[in-house]
Amino acid sequence: MSGEVVLADPMPPLFQQLAGDRFDVRPLENATEADRKATVGIVAYSHPIVDGSVMDSCPGLKVISNHGVGVDHIDVEAATQRRIPVGNTPGCLDASTADMTMALILSVARNVVVGDHFARGPEFTHYDPSILIGQEVTGSTLGIVGMGRIGAEVARRARAFNMKILYHNRSRRPETESELDVEYRSLKDLLAESDFVSLNCPLTDSTTGMIGPEELATMKGSGILINMARGPVVQTQALYDALTGGVIAAAGLDVTDPEPLPRDHPLLELKNVVIAPHLGSASNRTRQRMMQMTVDNLIAGLEGRPLPTGVNNSK
Protein backbone atom coordinates (compact mmCIF):
# COMPACT_ATOMS: atom_id res chain seq x y z
CA MET A 1 0.00 0.00 0.00
CA SER A 2 1.30 3.45 -0.87
CA GLY A 3 0.63 6.69 0.98
CA GLU A 4 1.87 8.67 3.93
CA VAL A 5 2.90 6.34 6.75
CA VAL A 6 0.87 6.68 9.94
CA LEU A 7 1.38 4.62 13.08
CA ALA A 8 -1.83 3.67 14.86
CA ASP A 9 -3.54 1.09 17.00
CA PRO A 10 -5.79 -1.32 15.08
CA MET A 11 -8.26 1.05 13.42
CA PRO A 12 -11.90 0.50 12.45
CA PRO A 13 -12.90 0.68 8.77
CA LEU A 14 -14.39 4.13 9.42
CA PHE A 15 -10.89 5.64 9.48
CA GLN A 16 -10.14 4.60 5.91
CA GLN A 17 -13.65 5.55 4.80
CA LEU A 18 -13.06 9.11 6.00
CA ALA A 19 -9.38 9.35 5.07
CA GLY A 20 -9.60 7.59 1.73
CA ASP A 21 -6.43 6.00 0.41
CA ARG A 22 -4.14 8.75 1.62
CA PHE A 23 -2.53 6.83 4.48
CA ASP A 24 -0.51 3.68 4.86
CA VAL A 25 -1.47 2.65 8.41
CA ARG A 26 1.09 0.53 10.20
CA PRO A 27 0.87 -0.87 13.75
CA LEU A 28 1.99 1.47 16.51
CA GLU A 29 2.77 -1.37 18.88
CA ASN A 30 5.97 -3.14 17.94
CA ALA A 31 6.55 -0.87 14.94
CA THR A 32 9.73 -1.69 13.07
CA GLU A 33 12.60 0.75 12.77
CA ALA A 34 11.75 1.16 9.09
CA ASP A 35 8.14 1.97 9.97
CA ARG A 36 9.20 4.61 12.47
CA LYS A 37 11.65 6.24 10.09
CA ALA A 38 8.89 6.54 7.47
CA THR A 39 6.24 7.78 9.91
CA VAL A 40 4.79 11.27 9.50
CA GLY A 41 1.81 10.95 11.87
CA ILE A 42 0.57 9.01 14.89
CA VAL A 43 -3.09 8.30 15.61
CA ALA A 44 -3.69 7.46 19.28
CA TYR A 45 -6.86 5.42 19.01
CA SER A 46 -7.03 3.24 22.13
CA HIS A 47 -4.93 5.26 24.57
CA PRO A 48 -1.42 4.03 23.74
CA ILE A 49 1.48 5.67 25.55
CA VAL A 50 3.05 8.27 23.27
CA ASP A 51 6.01 9.74 25.11
CA GLY A 52 9.17 11.53 24.11
CA SER A 53 10.99 8.31 23.29
CA VAL A 54 8.25 7.29 20.86
CA MET A 55 8.39 10.72 19.23
CA ASP A 56 12.19 10.61 18.95
CA SER A 57 12.00 7.21 17.27
CA CYS A 58 9.97 8.82 14.47
CA PRO A 59 12.28 11.56 13.11
CA GLY A 60 9.78 12.67 10.47
CA LEU A 61 6.82 12.93 12.85
CA LYS A 62 4.66 15.96 12.07
CA VAL A 63 1.47 15.44 14.11
CA ILE A 64 -0.16 13.33 16.83
CA SER A 65 -3.92 12.99 16.49
CA ASN A 66 -5.76 11.64 19.52
CA HIS A 67 -9.11 9.89 19.15
CA GLY A 68 -10.69 11.27 22.32
CA VAL A 69 -10.56 14.27 24.62
CA GLY A 70 -8.23 13.11 27.39
CA VAL A 71 -4.56 13.20 26.44
CA ASP A 72 -3.05 11.92 29.69
CA HIS A 73 -1.45 9.07 27.71
CA ILE A 74 0.38 11.56 25.46
CA ASP A 75 3.32 13.62 26.71
CA VAL A 76 2.03 16.93 25.40
CA GLU A 77 4.94 18.85 26.92
CA ALA A 78 7.43 16.62 25.11
CA ALA A 79 5.50 17.14 21.87
CA THR A 80 5.49 20.90 22.36
CA GLN A 81 9.23 20.91 22.95
CA ARG A 82 9.64 19.05 19.66
CA ARG A 83 7.19 21.39 17.89
CA ILE A 84 4.80 18.54 17.18
CA PRO A 85 1.13 19.55 17.29
CA VAL A 86 -1.25 17.34 19.25
CA GLY A 87 -4.97 17.22 18.44
CA ASN A 88 -7.95 15.81 20.30
CA THR A 89 -11.74 15.64 19.90
CA PRO A 90 -13.43 17.97 22.41
CA GLY A 91 -17.11 18.79 22.45
CA CYS A 92 -18.42 15.96 20.31
CA LEU A 93 -18.62 13.36 23.07
CA ASP A 94 -20.06 15.42 25.91
CA ALA A 95 -23.64 14.24 25.45
CA SER A 96 -22.88 10.55 25.01
CA THR A 97 -20.58 10.50 28.04
CA ALA A 98 -23.21 12.27 30.13
CA ASP A 99 -25.78 9.73 28.91
CA MET A 100 -23.50 6.93 30.07
CA THR A 101 -23.07 8.63 33.43
CA MET A 102 -26.81 8.58 33.96
CA ALA A 103 -26.98 5.00 32.68
CA LEU A 104 -24.54 3.90 35.37
CA ILE A 105 -26.34 5.88 38.06
CA LEU A 106 -29.63 4.23 37.16
CA SER A 107 -28.26 0.74 36.63
CA VAL A 108 -26.44 0.71 39.97
CA ALA A 109 -29.20 2.40 41.96
CA ARG A 110 -31.95 0.18 40.58
CA ASN A 111 -30.04 -3.12 40.48
CA VAL A 112 -30.40 -3.48 36.73
CA VAL A 113 -27.39 -5.76 36.22
CA VAL A 114 -28.02 -7.94 39.28
CA GLY A 115 -31.69 -8.03 38.34
CA ASP A 116 -30.90 -9.09 34.80
CA HIS A 117 -28.79 -12.00 36.03
CA PHE A 118 -31.47 -13.01 38.53
CA ALA A 119 -34.24 -12.82 35.93
CA ARG A 120 -32.29 -15.16 33.65
CA GLY A 121 -31.49 -17.65 36.44
CA PRO A 122 -33.34 -20.66 37.83
CA GLU A 123 -34.32 -18.90 41.09
CA PHE A 124 -36.74 -16.48 39.42
CA THR A 125 -39.97 -18.46 39.48
CA HIS A 126 -42.42 -15.84 40.72
CA TYR A 127 -42.66 -12.10 41.32
CA ASP A 128 -41.43 -11.09 44.75
CA PRO A 129 -41.86 -7.40 45.64
CA SER A 130 -39.45 -7.70 48.59
CA ILE A 131 -36.25 -8.33 46.61
CA LEU A 132 -33.67 -6.03 45.04
CA ILE A 133 -34.99 -2.83 46.56
CA GLY A 134 -32.88 -0.09 45.05
CA GLN A 135 -32.21 3.56 45.79
CA GLU A 136 -34.49 6.30 44.51
CA VAL A 137 -32.75 8.52 41.97
CA THR A 138 -35.46 11.14 41.64
CA GLY A 139 -35.09 13.80 44.30
CA SER A 140 -31.70 12.53 45.49
CA THR A 141 -28.54 14.61 45.74
CA LEU A 142 -25.94 14.29 43.02
CA GLY A 143 -22.40 15.56 43.50
CA ILE A 144 -20.47 16.17 40.28
CA VAL A 145 -16.69 16.35 40.53
CA GLY A 146 -15.52 18.25 37.46
CA MET A 147 -17.91 20.86 36.09
CA GLY A 148 -16.56 21.04 32.56
CA ARG A 149 -18.56 20.38 29.43
CA ILE A 150 -19.38 16.80 30.38
CA GLY A 151 -20.18 17.68 33.99
CA ALA A 152 -22.58 20.38 32.79
CA GLU A 153 -24.32 17.88 30.52
CA VAL A 154 -24.69 15.48 33.45
CA ALA A 155 -26.24 18.30 35.48
CA ARG A 156 -28.76 19.02 32.71
CA ARG A 157 -29.86 15.40 32.71
CA ALA A 158 -29.99 15.22 36.49
CA ARG A 159 -32.33 18.20 36.59
CA ALA A 160 -34.91 16.06 34.77
CA PHE A 161 -34.81 13.75 37.78
CA ASN A 162 -35.39 16.66 40.17
CA MET A 163 -32.02 16.01 41.77
CA LYS A 164 -30.29 18.50 43.99
CA ILE A 165 -26.99 19.08 42.22
CA LEU A 166 -23.72 19.93 43.92
CA TYR A 167 -20.41 20.34 42.18
CA HIS A 168 -16.72 20.62 42.90
CA ASN A 169 -14.29 22.06 40.41
CA ARG A 170 -10.80 23.50 40.31
CA SER A 171 -12.46 26.91 39.99
CA ARG A 172 -16.02 28.00 40.65
CA ARG A 173 -18.38 28.50 37.73
CA PRO A 174 -20.83 31.27 38.70
CA GLU A 175 -22.51 31.31 35.29
CA THR A 176 -23.01 27.55 35.42
CA GLU A 177 -24.39 27.82 38.95
CA SER A 178 -26.98 30.29 37.74
CA GLU A 179 -27.83 28.52 34.49
CA LEU A 180 -28.11 24.98 35.85
CA ASP A 181 -29.10 25.69 39.46
CA VAL A 182 -26.07 23.89 40.89
CA GLU A 183 -24.28 24.63 44.15
CA TYR A 184 -20.54 24.70 44.72
CA ARG A 185 -19.03 22.62 47.53
CA SER A 186 -15.58 21.72 48.72
CA LEU A 187 -14.73 18.13 47.81
CA LYS A 188 -15.16 17.02 51.42
CA ASP A 189 -18.58 18.62 51.77
CA LEU A 190 -19.73 17.31 48.39
CA LEU A 191 -18.78 13.76 49.35
CA ALA A 192 -20.55 14.03 52.69
CA GLU A 193 -23.80 15.45 51.31
CA SER A 194 -24.26 13.48 48.10
CA ASP A 195 -26.26 10.32 47.54
CA PHE A 196 -24.46 9.84 44.23
CA VAL A 197 -20.95 11.10 43.44
CA SER A 198 -20.09 11.33 39.76
CA LEU A 199 -16.45 11.78 38.73
CA ASN A 200 -16.31 13.68 35.44
CA CYS A 201 -12.91 15.34 35.78
CA PRO A 202 -9.76 14.95 33.65
CA LEU A 203 -6.80 12.93 34.86
CA THR A 204 -4.11 15.33 36.05
CA ASP A 205 -1.43 15.32 38.71
CA SER A 206 -3.95 16.82 41.15
CA THR A 207 -6.74 14.33 40.39
CA THR A 208 -4.63 11.16 40.31
CA GLY A 209 -5.57 9.11 43.38
CA MET A 210 -7.99 11.86 44.45
CA ILE A 211 -10.55 9.38 45.77
CA GLY A 212 -8.90 7.25 48.43
CA PRO A 213 -9.74 5.80 51.86
CA GLU A 214 -10.37 9.16 53.52
CA GLU A 215 -12.62 10.45 50.75
CA LEU A 216 -14.62 7.22 50.56
CA ALA A 217 -15.07 7.25 54.34
CA THR A 218 -16.49 10.77 54.02
CA MET A 219 -19.28 9.55 51.74
CA LYS A 220 -22.61 8.34 53.07
CA GLY A 221 -22.86 4.66 53.89
CA SER A 222 -25.65 4.52 51.31
CA GLY A 223 -23.56 6.48 48.81
CA ILE A 224 -22.88 5.39 45.26
CA LEU A 225 -19.68 6.34 43.42
CA ILE A 226 -19.68 6.70 39.64
CA ASN A 227 -16.34 6.97 37.81
CA MET A 228 -16.65 8.35 34.28
CA ALA A 229 -13.27 10.10 34.46
CA ARG A 230 -10.16 7.92 34.35
CA GLY A 231 -9.34 4.86 36.40
CA PRO A 232 -6.41 6.35 38.34
CA VAL A 233 -8.64 9.10 39.78
CA VAL A 234 -9.82 6.40 42.22
CA GLN A 235 -7.50 4.28 44.32
CA THR A 236 -8.57 0.78 43.36
CA GLN A 237 -7.71 -1.02 46.59
CA ALA A 238 -9.40 1.67 48.65
CA LEU A 239 -12.54 1.31 46.54
CA TYR A 240 -12.56 -2.46 46.96
CA ASP A 241 -12.16 -2.10 50.71
CA ALA A 242 -14.98 0.46 50.85
CA LEU A 243 -17.34 -1.74 48.82
CA THR A 244 -16.64 -4.87 50.86
CA GLY A 245 -16.50 -3.10 54.22
CA GLY A 246 -19.83 -1.31 54.01
CA VAL A 247 -18.20 2.12 53.77
CA ILE A 248 -20.23 2.92 50.65
CA ALA A 249 -23.12 1.02 49.12
CA ALA A 250 -22.08 0.56 45.52
CA ALA A 251 -20.14 1.86 42.53
CA GLY A 252 -20.50 2.19 38.78
CA LEU A 253 -17.25 2.23 36.83
CA ASP A 254 -16.76 2.99 33.18
CA VAL A 255 -13.00 3.06 33.80
CA THR A 256 -10.66 1.21 36.15
CA ASP A 257 -7.04 1.18 37.24
CA PRO A 258 -5.53 -0.80 35.68
CA GLU A 259 -7.68 -0.98 32.59
CA PRO A 260 -8.73 -3.64 32.04
CA LEU A 261 -8.50 -5.19 35.46
CA PRO A 262 -6.73 -8.56 35.64
CA ARG A 263 -9.29 -11.29 35.04
CA ASP A 264 -8.83 -12.59 38.57
CA HIS A 265 -9.14 -9.19 40.27
CA PRO A 266 -11.45 -9.42 43.32
CA LEU A 267 -13.34 -6.28 42.28
CA LEU A 268 -14.81 -8.28 39.39
CA GLU A 269 -16.52 -10.63 41.85
CA LEU A 270 -18.52 -7.96 43.67
CA LYS A 271 -22.24 -7.69 43.04
CA ASN A 272 -22.43 -4.10 44.28
CA VAL A 273 -20.33 -2.74 41.44
CA VAL A 274 -21.21 -2.36 37.77
CA ILE A 275 -18.22 -2.23 35.43
CA ALA A 276 -18.42 -1.15 31.79
CA PRO A 277 -15.53 -1.48 29.31
CA HIS A 278 -14.94 2.27 28.84
CA LEU A 279 -18.12 3.00 26.89
CA GLY A 280 -18.47 6.72 27.67
CA SER A 281 -18.28 7.91 24.08
CA ALA A 282 -19.35 4.65 22.45
CA SER A 283 -22.44 5.78 20.57
CA ASN A 284 -22.79 5.64 16.81
CA ARG A 285 -23.09 9.36 16.06
CA THR A 286 -20.41 10.34 18.58
CA ARG A 287 -17.84 7.88 17.26
CA GLN A 288 -18.51 9.11 13.70
CA ARG A 289 -17.84 12.70 14.78
CA MET A 290 -14.78 11.70 16.81
CA MET A 291 -13.19 9.91 13.89
CA GLN A 292 -13.88 12.82 11.55
CA MET A 293 -12.17 15.19 13.99
CA THR A 294 -9.26 12.75 14.33
CA VAL A 295 -8.78 12.65 10.57
CA ASP A 296 -9.18 16.42 10.23
CA ASN A 297 -6.47 17.05 12.86
CA LEU A 298 -4.18 14.49 11.24
CA ILE A 299 -4.47 16.01 7.77
CA ALA A 300 -4.10 19.58 9.03
CA GLY A 301 -0.91 18.69 10.86
CA LEU A 302 0.57 16.97 7.84
CA GLU A 303 -0.25 19.96 5.68
CA GLY A 304 1.31 22.40 8.13
CA ARG A 305 -1.99 24.04 9.02
CA PRO A 306 -3.22 24.78 12.56
CA LEU A 307 -5.09 21.81 13.97
CA PRO A 308 -8.87 22.42 14.14
CA THR A 309 -8.83 21.17 17.73
CA GLY A 310 -5.25 21.32 18.98
CA VAL A 311 -4.19 20.99 22.59
CA ASN A 312 -0.80 22.68 22.30
CA ASN A 313 0.63 25.61 20.41
CA SER A 314 3.13 23.76 18.29
CA LYS A 315 3.20 24.50 14.57
Domains of the chain: 4-92+284-302 (3.40.50.720), 94-275 (3.40.50.720)
Beta bridge partners of 224: 196, 250
Backbone phi and psi for residue 231, each to the nearest 5 degrees, phi listed first = -55, -45
3-state secondary structure of 61: coil
Q: 76-79 long-range CB contacts below 8 Å, 24 or more apart?
A: 76/311, 76/312, 78/51, 78/52, 79/55, 79/312, 79/314
User: Do 132 and 118 touch, CB atoms closer than 8 A?
Assistant: yes
Tell me the C-alpha distance between 94 and 152, whole Å: 9
CB count within 10 Å of CB 32 equals 10
**pLDDT at residue number 3:** 84
**pLDDT at residue number 130:** 97
3-state secondary structure of 216: helix
pLDDT per residue of the chain (315 residues) written in tens, 0 to 9: 458 999 999 999 999 999 999 999 999 999 999 999 999 999 999 999 999 999 999 999 999 999 999 999 999 999 999 999 999 999 999 999 999 999 999 999 999 999 999 999 999 999 999 999 999 999 999 999 999 999 999 999 999 999 999 999 999 999 999 999 999 999 999 999 999 999 999 999 999 999 999 999 999 999 999 999 999 999 999 999 999 999 999 999 999 999 999 999 999 999 999 999 999 999 999 999 999 999 999 999 999 999 999 999 654
**pLDDT at residue number 313:** 65
**pLDDT at residue number 240:** 98
Tell me the C-alpha distance between 147 and 126, whole Å: 44
In order of 134, 158, 172, the CA distances from 181 in angstroms are 27, 11, 13
User: Do 256 and 229 touch, CB atoms closer than 8 A?
Assistant: no
Active site residues: 230, 259, 278
